[in-house]
Amino acid sequence: MIGAGTREVRMEAPTDLLSLSQAELAAWMKSHGQPAFRAKQVRRWLFDKGADSVEAMTDLPKSLRAVLVDETTLGTLTVAARQESQDGTEKRLYRLHDGHLIESVLMRYRDGRRTACISSQAGCAMGCVFCATGQMGFARHLTPTEVFEQVWRYDRALKAAGERLSNVVLMGMGEPFHNYDAVLTAMRRMNVDLGIGARHITVSTVGLVPRIRQLAEEGLQVTLAVSLHAATDAARRALMPINKRWPIEELVQACRDYVDATHRRVTFEWALIEGETDTPEEANRLGRLLQGLLCHVNVIPLNPTGGFAGQPSSPARARRFVDILKRHGVPASVRVRRGIDIDAGCGQLRSRVLEEAAG
């Protein structure tokens, strides 16, 4: 309690250097009596050299580094938990400044690809019944910098190891198109600040049709991925409530229009649930639905969660599903599941950590 005659001192929150544009950082430097070119130096350390601290920025004057240490931060995310799979997949649980938790994953492939799967929201409002994130509900949108920082952290770590981040997929926690403006800003920064080619960035949606049409007008060469998972409205509504708002016919037409406008192939995600979405009948329905569309189908054996009783398909059923699609002229492949020996599915690590804290 503050006594009589005392004055409350308000501490300003530190400035997050990751959140500043070139112009904003130059203005910050000017306000601290520094020349504008210092902003370029700092950004080169952040985005080209992958500096993990201000102290590492050795071509800055010691006096400036001291001020930066006192008044700024490099991002706002803190690691709350971390897991590493036998296949090299790394999963991080981040705590946001307000206590909410999000997840991101780094997947390492034998061909040298390094892919970051990142979150766009804390929780998700879409309610897909087989998704751990959908089961937890929606907390809040991430800021553009919170989305970008997940990528920057993996990029920085890989550079320190003499590697590079090659791909980014926005398929983590949340519906990216529900947080459209922040995600778009973050994707542009991945391209401009980190040099990740737009064609190596994939943004996923459960099917927010107006945002698919909006993305088609943005002039970005990113890849659009649509979580489909069923070929009839009745089956899809049972899995994905969003289908009540935008049924399959409307969704697929938006995808056809997207291809016409961008000349970019659309990827469809299909979770293979034993005896439900992996049958020959479903494969034939999907093949007829997508026939003639420039697309590719990623079929993914379900990652089981505690809140959904379905089980993943066997490799033989997955191969049969892909073969049937190819007979319809629809390219498809079985996605290699990564991190199966850890909490690999979106939201699973967060749920486990919260359960342990409560128990």
Share of the chain above pLDDT 90, in %: 78
Numbered ranges of CATH 3.20.20.70 in the chain:
80-358
CATH 3.40.50.300 fits 80-358, yes or no: no
Give pLDDT tens digits for 245-303. Answer: 999 999 999 999 999 999 999 999 998 988 889 999 999 999 999 999 999 999 988 77
Q: What is the mean pLDDT of residues 140-145?
A: 98
107 contacts: CB under 8 Å, gap ≥ 6: 88, 89, 113, 114, 115, 116, 117, 338, 339
Give the range among 94-98, 188-192, 234-238, 311-315 with minimum mean pLDDT: 311-315
Closest CA relative to residue 298, chosen from 270, 277, 275: 270
Rounded Cα distance, 224 and 48, in Å: 27
Q: Are 112 and 166 in contact, with CB atoms under 8 Å apart? A: yes
- Position 124 confidence tier, pLDDT thresholds 50, 70, 90: very high
| Per-state percent for the chain, helix, strand, coil, to nearest 5 | 40, 20, 40
167 contacts: CB under 8 Å, gap ≥ 6: 113, 114, 115, 116, 196, 200, 201, 202
Beta bridge partners of 246: none
Numbered ranges of CATH 1.10.150.530 in the chain:
15-73
Q: Are 303 and 339 in contact, with CB atoms under 8 Å apart? A: no
Give pLDDT tens digits for 166-186. Answer: 999 999 999 999 999 999 999
Beta bridge partners of 15: 72
Q: What is the mean pLDDT of residues 307-330?
A: 88
Mean model confidence pLDDT for the chain: 90
State yes or no: pLDDT of 356 exceeds 80: no
State yes or no: pLDDT of 231 exceeds 60: yes
Share of the chain above pLDDT 70, in %: 89
Could you tell me the fold of the domain covering 15-73?
Answer: DNA polymerase; domain 1 (1.10.150)
If 0-12 CB within 10 Å is exposed, 13-18 middle and 19+ buried, where does residue 4 land? exposed
State yes or no: pLDDT of 210 exceeds 60: yes
Rg value, the chain, Cα: 22
Rounded Cα distance, 357 and 285, in Å: 45
Alpha helices in 243-338 (DSSP H): 248-262, 280-290, 315-327
pLDDT at 312: 81
Active-site residue set: 103, 346
